[in-house]
Structure 1
Amino acid sequence: MMPYEEALSIVLSHCPTLPTEKVYLLDALGRVLAEDVISEEDRPSFDNSAMDGYAVHWEDIKDAPVELSVVGEIPAGAEGTFELPRGCAVKIFTGAPIPKGATAVVPVEHTEAKNGKVLIKEAFKEGANIRRKGEELKAGEIVLQKGTILRYYEMGLLASLNKVQVEVSRKPRVAVLSTGDEIKDLGEPITKPSQIRTSNGYTLMAGISLAGGEPHYLGIVPDEPGKLKKALSQLEDYDVFITTGGVSMGDRDYIKTLVEEVGVKVHFHKVRIKPAKPILFGTYREGKGLFFGIPGNPVSCAIAFDLIVKPALLRMQSAKDYMPKTLWAKLKRDFSRRDAERREFVRAVLSLEEQQLVCDFSPKLQSHMLTSYVGANCYMVVREGVKELKGGELVEVVLF
């Protein structure tokens, strides 16, 4: 069995870089930026007020309370400005340009206006509540770097920069093929006690979409070599091809033999992790396509995707952040296991208790229990050779 780090390194070293394309902004959510985005102007482009209130000379209010004459009003969007005389104030609204000479804005809740005058009730420091030109961005500054995964925050930022279109990496086309005589798809009747409802294909398609990919569901194929080989012959149409089931050591586990027959070069089969040990990885189309044979147990399928497949999909799109995120937390209660040969990834909940990160693992540890993900947000990592973890000690967790 291959160590996890070595397996992941092999996968990442074989990831091809996908070409780029221009898309309209609203189509860019979740995509990977393929260009540096540069600000064409200072932001803000002029000094403006951060509050509704009164623009004043700081020297006039430093000994507040003090009463000043109100000499005008500046709304947001006003064009031009004027010079503010000493001993005076101008009513101003959030986003409005600061009048020449004003060096502070006093929020309206700290004032009292009456008969053309305003009482400034307390002093504010020089420059208070003024947004200075260029304080957020300077013209020519890189705002977003190539390789950034675009969240809704970045979408708003790009809109504010007037980016109608953006250059992104093309979505990887990913085929998902489920295998097994006993698997029934959505809507199909269960006619025998030995039959089970599908889940893996839908887990993978959702995960692929969230990782920026374009999933293509090829359905469920029974454990018959002829039918499996025919389905696998579609490899060339996709950047990534994923099968679930059929990669263990049973008499009806045909995937490893069949993928080699259709042109896949297998780089490894079996990784020293629990669950998901029988992962198979290979390449096709002269190294430009990636093949993943994933175990059929639902938890094994999800873990294989999170730890091996998802980093590869992100790497293909040139994402800067493609590795699983790891941190440390205090274990809430004791954990023990009998077999310490493999690294185990236990579904767990990470929370904040008394200003400290705490990890509590799921009581459902078996690889068929997809319900172990309900409420979970991380994997607790139990390293090779470790049989016991004591409550209160620090444990490694992988976020998902």
Structure 2
Amino acid sequence: MSGAAVGVGRKGVDWRGMGALSSGHLFTDVNQGAVAALIPFLVAERGISLAAAGALVLAATVSSSVVQPLFGVFSDKRPIPALMPLGLLVAGAGISLVGVVESYAVIFSLIVLSGVGVAAFHPEAARYANYVSGPRRAQGMSFFSVGGNAGFALGPALTTPLVLAFGLSGTLFLVLPALLMSLVLFRELPRLSTFRPEPVGGGASPERPVGRGVTFGEWFAFWRMIGVVVIRSFVYFGLVSFLALYYVQVLGESEALGNTAVTVMLACGAVGTLVLGRLADRVGRRAVLAGTMLAAGPLLYAFTLVAGSAPVLAMGFLGLIGAALIGTFGVTVVMGQEYLPERIGLAAGITMGLSIGVGGVGATSLGLFADSFGLSNTLLLLAALPALGLLLTLTLPKRAPKGGGR
């Protein structure tokens, strides 16, 4: 079957290709999730300070997120599909060796190496997730994003039992899933390489010939959309960091209930990702993004009102908050690729990497705010921020390029 026949003119997502890409995303992001799980063990057994432990988390964030646009630029100039399995393998190898070395400098270097592998995987994988999605780009990219969300959550669940059973050297086992999945991706590369992008606003058409470059207006729209992503990431990381603590210190509940609340939010976010991806293909990307920004603030404020008196209702609000905040991760990746149709690797690197990383690093400043004004006011601040995201979203162009992007 020809590349044109495989990649263009399909009515929906090629699920074999998307299954391989989303699974690769899962096993890549397992290594990111493993870093946080390793920190307590490294502090206890390697004697590193809390400041040094924080530096490891920052190193993982910067190397895996902030570096992604550089790989995106490289991918746009010369696509190298092999970066997907190679990036996954490097990510797994780096994190697997962390537990068997003693030197802090070597541990730091291995975490950076693993992060670079993560960064190498994402832009190229997002490119092919776009290709195999056909005209259903939001649906396909949402499925791709769920793989990453699941991997990040699975990282601690895999790492902690291994370290408890075998000591820090148990991290060596983490190379096995990376190795197996990289072999699967290597086997799928010939088929994935036959896919071509569906014609969109930046595809070959009389209105927009390939190679005409990106206009100032497209860049301006793209960066406004990135502003929305940063705000969303700020709220998301703020809740992940302080929600369980809010249950303990403000509501007087147990740590177990606080962690359950975070799990409910994340699990509903995964469901929301799949639902909102399909919805975005039908009613438009901007409409879905605006709707979630409109809903997130009131939902979070409502949660603060009922959390102490109606715990079940509060969990319901958290589920909706998770769906609103996390559910548009895939949608915004597609929006970025449609705003920069000839720079889809760079768009993915910034949307999935840089902007989320900046939001995560910026959210650490919430700790200073919480120390000064308390956790209750911190959640109220987080509830106010989506309003700014909504205003930015409403300035975005309402586009309808070929293939269903809006």
State if a TM-score over 0.5 links the two structures: no
Pair member with larger Rg: 1
Q: Which has the higher contact order (CA 8 A, sep 6+)?
A: 2
- Give 1 or 2: higher strand fraction: 1
